[in-house]
Homo-oligomer: A and B are copies of this chain.
Amino acid sequence: MLAQLSKGECTVSDLAKPFRDEMSLPAVTKHLKVLEKAGLITKSKDAQYRPCKLNADGLKEAADWMQEYRMFWEESFDRLDDYLKTVVAAEKKEKTKKPKGKKKKHASRK
């Protein structure tokens, strides 16, 4: 729906059309209500129609917010990568050792 709106203002039923067989109109109304509350879109009046458009300010806020987390996510990716590299390396080493070595006891649990 946001993608649709990025091409220009349009009405509730226009936005609903692509989802005709997936959800009802009231469902769309509700969906739009959360987008509106979230400040991502605005609705206005034109006779029976409620033309919707993207809200630049809200989108900017959202983008800024995501931008913050983007780093966090990427760091997480990198940490996972690091972790996997060490694990995979450890496993390769494991395989070159004798396959039936002593089982390592875990640390004492008292």
Chain B CB within 8 A of A75 CB: no
Chain B CB within 8 A of A29 CB: no
The count of chain A contact residues (Cβ–Cβ below 8 Å) is 27
Chain B CB within 8 A of A87 CB: yes
Contact string, A1-41, partner B, CB cutoff 8 A, digits 1/0?
A: 00000100101000000000000000000000000000000
B59 touches A106 (CB 8 A): no
Best-surrounded residue of A59, A87, A88 (most CB of chain B within 10 A): A87
- Chain B residues, Cβ within 8 Å of A63: 77, 80-81, 84
Residue in B6, B46, B70, B91 whose beta carbon sits within 8 Å of that of A56 in the complex: B91
Chain B CB within 8 A of A83 CB: yes
